[in-house]
Amino acid sequence: MTTHVKRAFKYRFYPTDAQAAELSRTFGCVRKVYNLALAARTEAWTRQERVNYNQTSAMLTAWKKTEELAYLNEVSAVPLQQALRHLQTAFANFFGKRAKYPRFKSRKKSRKSAEYTTSAFRFRDGRLTLAKTAEPLDIVWSRPLPEGASPSTVTVSQDAAGRWYVSLLCEDPSVQPLAPADAAVGVDVGLGHLLTLSTGEKVSNPRHERRDRARLAKAQRRLARKARGDGANRAKARRTVARVYARITDRRRDHLHKLTTRLVRENQTIVIEDLAVRNMVKNGSLARAISDAAWSDFRSMLEYKAQWYGREVIAIDRWFPSSKLCSVCGTLQDKMPLHVREWTCDCGTIHDRDVNAAKNILAVGLTASVCGAGVRPQRSTPGGQSAVKQKTPRREP
Ligand SMILES: [Zn+2]
């Protein structure tokens, strides 16, 4: 292969006061531009018209000339332009039925980030300087960049716990496609376990997660009890919640990285259910929010690693009755209540509910892979599907 895989390398950094102020101002402007453009596109959408990226770009130029929005000129223009591109991607995913309608960014809840392309940063001798900031960032190089790598995109972000990160997108010559494998695996998302594989293996949640979740619930109760007027204590309680939440997601992401790398290394084909965001049940519980986030992380990690290593991920429609079908004789059961964990088919086979479902998912995916039609699978093969490419690959531990 002549082209190399692009990978994101993420590091913590510690901004000076001036850098923190400049970056916070940039995050605010990015959010403002994204929301203005979303409002304009939504307004057009209600008139059954579509506004494209170029039109929003022209709007941005006009906004900058108004007195009210003149402050947009004070930050680097590149992250603002990138915000419009991200919105374009969000709409493409919406029209492609891969995502819900784009939502407004909130000051408190949304991820704070700004993306810089090559014209807006300088990377020299391992020092990274962003546009509109005088000094290079104080980055903790927890692991080296690939030999001779030079980033094409740099993303700065701050998480809810206040930590600053910079992610550098670089070509990585060390990632090479693996030799083809014979194995294929089906993956079922369970209730009791994180995932069940068609091989019979059950993958549980990361260690300590139960305890961390209990801590999170406690921290949230404490936050809820803080009176509205008590600003300092409330802010402190909110930071505690954010810190525990960040630890849960960090551990989970680490766990998912190891798991997806193993699945991709061992299997040529991986079949999953297409649990699209739009199909997910709305549920206020945080446990559920974490599980949903884990699922979309799991899927995107699988897809980009499959691209790296020359593997295939097939997503089958979720209406397929994977739990009710006997994977041995093909008989369909009338019903399969959630509490039934093990059942016996008329053909005499004793099934573990989740393993049977994973086997069915695998069988359907492989059939679809051969005949094409039937289950409307969404494939993501190397070099395929745009939705996958537009996602920024995450760091692998
Ligand atoms: Zn049977």
Contacts of 27 (CB under 8 A, 6+ apart): 112, 113, 114, 158
138 counts as catalytic: no
* Cα 331 to middle of ligand 1, angstroms: 6
Q: Please state the separation of Cα 17 from the chain's center in Å.
A: 30
* Cα 333 to middle of ligand 1, angstroms: 9
- Judged by DSSP in three states, 304 sits in helix
- Judged by DSSP in three states, 383 sits in coil
Q: What's the pLDDT score for residue 245? A: 86
Q: What's the pLDDT score for residue 192? A: 64
In this structure, the number of other CB atoms found within 10 A of the CB of residue 276 comes to 17
The tens-digit pLDDT sequence of the chain (397 residues) is 445 678 889 999 999 999 999 999 999 999 999 999 999 999 998 898 889 999 999 999 999 999 999 999 999 999 999 999 999 999 998 888 878 899 999 988 888 999 999 999 999 888 999 999 989 999 999 888 877 788 999 999 999 889 999 999 988 777 778 888 889 999 987 666 778 999 999 988 777 777 888 888 898 888 888 766 667 888 888 888 888 888 888 888 888 889 999 999 999 999 998 775 434 444 445 455 556 667 778 888 999 899 888 899 998 877 778 889 999 999 999 888 878 889 999 999 999 999 999 999 999 988 876 654 334 444 444 433 333 333 333 444 3
Locus of tokens 């209600």: 46
Q: What's the pLDDT score for residue 290? A: 55
Q: What's the pLDDT score for residue 191? A: 60
Q: What's the pLDDT score for residue 2? A: 44
DSSP letter for each residue of 10-68:
EEEB---HHHHHHHHHHHHHHHHHHHHHHHHHHHHHHTT----HHHHHHHHHHHHHSST
* Cα 352 to middle of ligand 1, angstroms: 12
Q: Which of 115, 209, 354, 396 is catalytic?
A: 354
Q: How far apart are CA 7 and CA 32, in angstroms?
A: 29
354 counts as catalytic: yes
Q: What's the pLDDT score for residue 374? A: 38
273 counts as catalytic: yes
* Cα 286 to middle of ligand 1, angstroms: 38
* Cα 332 to middle of ligand 1, angstroms: 8
Q: Which of 22, 212, 273, 396 is catalytic?
A: 273
The dihedral formed by the CA atoms of 250, 171, 113 and 42, expressed in degrees to the nearest 10 = -110
* Cα 183 to middle of ligand 1, angstroms: 24
Q: Which of 22, 188, 274, 312 is catalytic?
A: 188
* Cα 328 to middle of ligand 1, angstroms: 5
